[in-house]
Amino acid sequence: MKDSQLVAHCLEMDFCTSGRSRDRVVALLYNLIRARIQSAVAQNGQINLFRQAPLHYWKRLEQAELFKECQIDLEREAVVTNFHTKKIDVREFDCC
């Protein structure tokens, strides 16, 4: 396919990005997540970070293959100072 696009979806926050390379879509999604966390910190946690994706996306995840696991270090990124967690687990899956 000439114009094929990859999609990255953070199911916990229901954010999606698309692009032509895996690196690009993951970087875009990471930036969305980071901006959401920074916004929550700026508002003293007054916004809900999590808004889960619809159930059918979670069901597709059950069928997916694990591609990569890592963590986002929130302290290293200077994103957060007063959250209960300092790292976020990240798992990438290949799905249909």
79, with CB counted inside 10 A (0-12, 13-18, 19+), is: buried
Contact 74, 85 (CB under 8 A): yes
Residue 77: what residue type?
E
Q: What pLDDT digit, counting tens, does each position of 37-70 carry?
A: 888 778 876 677 778 899 998 888 888 777 777 7
Contact 29, 90 (CB under 8 A): no
Q: DSSP letter at 36?
A: H
Tokens of 60: 């597709």
Query: Confidence band (pLDDT; 50, 70, 90) for 85?
Result: low
Q: How far apart are CA 46 and CA 27, in angstroms?
A: 26
Q: Is the pLDDT of residue 81 over 70?
A: no
pLDDT of residue 1: 41
pLDDT of residue 76: 57
